[in-house]
Amino acid sequence: MSIEKLDLVAVNKELKDKTPQEIVTWALSKANNPLVTTNFRPYEGAILHLVVTQKEEMKVIWCDTGYNTPQTYKHAEELIHQLQLNIQLYVPKQTVAHRNITLGLPTIDDPNHVVFTEQVKLEPFKRAMNEHQPDVWFTNLRKGQTAFRDSIDIVSKSKDGILKVSPFYNYSDEELDAYLKEHNLANEFKYFDPTKVESNRECGLHI
């Protein structure tokens, strides 16, 4: 059955009790051009390890805002090397130094925050998706992160019709900690997203 004709309610019922590994296997059986996105935030090592274990050449889209902490950049380089990731890097068209003069780092209430988010996150992401045209998109969205993420499931459709698969959707932090430990993967908690500020806000990629 083609991705367009999938019954998401039935699919999620089928996958509800499957392991993350089984969910990835199912998704790859449907995919012609899969990819995984990452920002190297906490627990990203788990989803990256999970998908490249089954498909070594998996394209890994990294939209780097330019505002990551030194710890996050170090963590990213370590994971890229350890997992031999096929990184496809996308960055904003304007440098941080230039943007600091024109916009600064707007607060959520600042009208410029919308422009800022478009520049540092949405535009690079749209560019990546337009260039790669995936049919399956692996993410590390999890239940309990935001109100919106509570409303989706393991498998959903993006606003562009891409099949979005979150293998760890029902995992807790403790379960992901165990996964990272089992596979000798580091974690990193110094991550900073300049577009979200608050951890329970959506940045716009998934809505």
Q: Residue-wise pLDDT tens for the chain (207 aa)? A: 578 788 999 999 999 999 999 999 999 999 999 999 999 999 999 999 999 999 999 999 999 999 999 999 999 999 999 999 999 999 999 999 999 999 999 998 999 999 999 999 999 999 999 999 999 999 999 986 655 556 679 999 988 889 999 999 999 999 999 999 999 999 999 999 999 855 544 455 545
Pairing of strands 155-157, 163-165: antiparallel
At residue 200, the pLDDT reads 47
113, 107 contact by CB (below 8 A) = yes
